[in-house]
Amino acid sequence: MTSPHTRVPRHRGRPASRTAALLGVAALIASSVTAAGASAAYADPVGSIRTAAVAEPPAVPGNLLPDGRFVSDSAGWTSTRGGTLSLSDDAASGAHSLQVAARQNTQSGPFANVSGKIEVGATYRMTGKLKYSTGAATQQFNFTLCPTNFNGCADYGHTFTQGEWGTFSQEFTAEAKHAAAGWFFIETPWGSNALQDFAVDELSLVKIADAPEQPAFTSLEKVQTKPVGDHNPLVGHKFGADPHHLIYNGRLYIYSTDDTQQYETNSKDANGLPTQSNGYGAITRLNVMSTSDMVNWVDHGTVPVSREGGAAPWSRNSWAPAAIEKDGKVYLYFCDNGSGTAVVVGGSPLGPWTDPLGKKIIPDTVSPEYIAGGGFPAGMWLFDPEVFIDDDGQGYLYFGGNSQIGTAPNVQGPQNPKSTRVVKLKDDMVTLDGDPVEIDGPGMFEASSMFKHGDKYYYSYSSNFQVNEVPGQYPSRGGIAYMMTDDPMDLSASAYAGVAFQNQATFFGAGNGGNNHSDMFTYKGETYFTYHAQTRGAAWAAALGTPGATQGYRSVHIDKLEFNADGTIKPIVGTRAGVAQVESFDPYRTFEAETLAWQLGVSTAKTDAPSVEFPEHNGSGNMVLSSVDDGDFAGVSGVDFGAGAATVSARVKPLVEGGSIQVRLDDVDGQVVAEIPVDGTVGAWTTVQADVTGATGEHDVFFVFAAPDGAAADADLVEVDNWAFAAAPAETLDLVVSTGSRCVAGKVQLVVSVRNADAVAAEATIETPFGEKKVTLAAGATSSSSFATRSSALAAAEVQVTGAAGDLAYSGATAYLARSCG
């Protein structure tokens, strides 16, 4: 989860853009020399200095910043966050630089207004020179673009050497956060306590390429947020974040924070694109989806957790779930914003839910002595739970976060904030067994996760955005760092093992940075890494011609996790391809219509009807396909029809008369193997069916919805609860089986005769209580087989005969009579 607080203005400086073109330099110099004797009666304007005859660099065409050469003044530059600005004769070029002194915080630096000057999608280059003379031998300075509220900034850092003029240059393609910038300024990193004076010169910000033309756009519903063939994000029709796995009855469930709820609450433009950043404050539900093959995901809707109607109505929010099964019960932990962690208990992954404590497990059940002793320093977030049960049955709860905690003079962070904890759980999984123990994760921010592989424990977490990376000691910013240990409670800084996953922006580009949250797990023999990225929002923004305008709404992904020979984690690569399907999909059953590998246009809605496929959910968590328009589709991957399907049926609620559903193979425009008429009374649930022709073997299947003639283009056509295919009856081999018995030396002998009445040769297997025999039968031939019972009496029973000839098959039971030879 991200910080539960809006970031206050940080002590940081942000780079600015040039707007003034410096014309007439020669005339300015000449004027200065000529007027030297006559100007004594006039005072120099504030922030200016009379210049000597020094050659100035040429003006930068198209500079969006005030004049960054500082020829004779600092017009347009301000010290918005404290400090003083003055011209200095120590310049990188020309007569003067701009000196920053008496800095009050890391943001004390030169500011320039860039409001309305940066265009989304265009490419820009910012350049400048900087020098400092006190402090560390090397120091990072950030050239930053930031909104006037200092929330959602774009920092570009560069390391300079003391006593030398150094050069900074950075190109970037503008995202929404750049276009929203009100300030460009220069700062030292937040939390660094680096407040030395410094000077800047030759500052510029110029557009070097226009934004490319964007494709025509109709509506967000028609944006393919998960292209056919991709397996990430897991679903394309809703947001989800902070994913955590649960394995229940052999099926994989993924819980996530319901970002869709915040999207529905926040402001949007006329097209539905969010204009307000996520914020998380309205989120009271947790998403649930499941799979058995890693590609086809069933949307089970949400678990209502907080406020009225929720499982824990006393709580305000439900973020960052962590779930685990024990003795048939599901223990679902969540954070109530940053104030604490709670738990509800379910009879299945979808409930029903009970609240065993009626309050937060953290901090409300922690010993008062631990808290009074400073166990939770000021600023520590008590959120982002992780639950883990070791092989010996011992349970553990991990929680906490923030990049800096404590009060002066005992402030910790951002290198080693020590802001997370682990505590043992008693057997009931809701009672703490002792006091929490401090974790020293280098560069810690949030998102604790624990995983065991072999005999090693892997504790992973999201690194903060202020940590200074030192390979082998401190992680890169905003990544997933991890530690390796032999004890799930022994997590000192020496256990640090590296970075498993870089920030999502590394892999997915504009609009996909921000907070990171992950979970590692093994399922059906493979090890996986689930995380979130802003790919659905990025697809929307790109379609609208505003790339990067994602506003922090996230989607769940899964990629493979692999290990080196020494047990360390190979760097995980975030992909849109995702992971492979691990088993074929069985269509010969009733399965949920909201089983989705891909979709376009359709959404899901809750229904009170219990799920046919998931009776173990105790009547909860059933959804239907909804918001279905003409041309929308739902796709299922890797469907194995075997020898062939005969029919397909669907439980539907028609919303208009005359609609239909085409069943297509391999592509949205692929072969039509069935067309289901959506008959029945409008507004009433019914089951409809159609014959299937040509569906054999394994294929991707697309259910494509068609409106009747004359229907409005945006008319909702139907809701669908479930699908079912029926297999075509197999062609049978014509075998005739007869039985008899005889007495041989006082013992019963069972005789089984098989006649091949078909026109092709066949193989047959005869199974009796007294043995098994295989026979080969030419067309029209008969074979008799005897089985010694070694008894004088035979009880009535059956023999089983199976046969095969190419695609033909036979299977049947034939009775035999009792017999006595005594």
Residue 783 in any domain: the answer is: yes
Query: Confidence band (pLDDT; 50, 70, 90) for 34?
Result: very low
Q: Is 242 annotated in the active site?
A: yes
For residues 490 and 535, membership in a common domain is answered with: yes
For residues 692 and 744, membership in a common domain is answered with: no
Domain's final residue, options 174, 209, 244? 209
Residue 94 in any domain: the answer is: yes
Report pLDDT for 25: 29
Check: pTM over 0.85? Answer yes or no: no
For residues 309 and 429, membership in a common domain is answered with: yes
For residues 295 and 387, membership in a common domain is answered with: yes
Residue 763 in any domain: the answer is: yes
CA dihedral 672, 676, 678, 679 (to 10 degrees): 140
Residues 6+ apart with CB under 8 A from 194: 106, 135, 136, 139, 140, 188
For residues 525 and 658, membership in a common domain is answered with: no
Output the DSSP codes for 208-246.
EEPPPP------GGGS-SS-TT---SS-SSS--EEEEEE
Burial of 577: CB neighbours in 10 Å, binned 0-12, 13-18, 19+:
exposed
Report pLDDT for 214: 61
CATH no. for residue 414? 2.115.10.20
- Tell me the C-alpha distance between 98 and 69, whole Å: 9
Residue 569 in any domain: the answer is: no
Among 553, 561, 517, 515, residue whose Cα is nearest residue 535:
553
For residues 519 and 647, membership in a common domain is answered with: no
Residue 581 in any domain: the answer is: no
- Tell me the C-alpha distance between 389 and 325, whole Å: 9
How many domains are contained in the chain? 4
Over residues 255-281, the mean pLDDT reads 91
Residue 10 in any domain: the answer is: no
For residues 450 and 386, membership in a common domain is answered with: yes
- Tell me the C-alpha distance between 20 and 27, whole Å: 17
For residues 467 and 528, membership in a common domain is answered with: yes
Range of the domain at 200: 25-209
For residues 173 and 144, membership in a common domain is answered with: yes
Domain's final residue, options 560, 580, 603? 560
- Tell me the C-alpha distance between 242 and 256, whole Å: 5
pLDDT digit string, tens, across residues 751-799 = 999 999 999 999 999 999 999 999 999 999 999 999 999 999 999 999 9
Q: Is 758 annotated in the active site?
A: no
Across 729-770, the runs of DSSP E, i.e. the strands, are 735-744, 747-756, 762-768
pLDDT > 70: what percent of the chain? 93
Residue 226 in any domain: the answer is: yes
For residues 240 and 305, membership in a common domain is answered with: yes
* Active-site entry in 67, 446, 592, 721: 446
Report pLDDT for 47: 43
* Active-site entry in 155, 201, 202, 242: 242
pLDDT > 90: what percent of the chain? 83
Would you say 585 and 724 are in contact if contact means Cβ atoms under 8 Å apart? no
Query: Confidence band (pLDDT; 50, 70, 90) for 215?
Result: low
CATH no. for residue 761? 2.60.40.10
Query: Confidence band (pLDDT; 50, 70, 90) for 543?
Result: confident
Residue 2 in any domain: the answer is: no
Token representation of residue 11: 């002590």
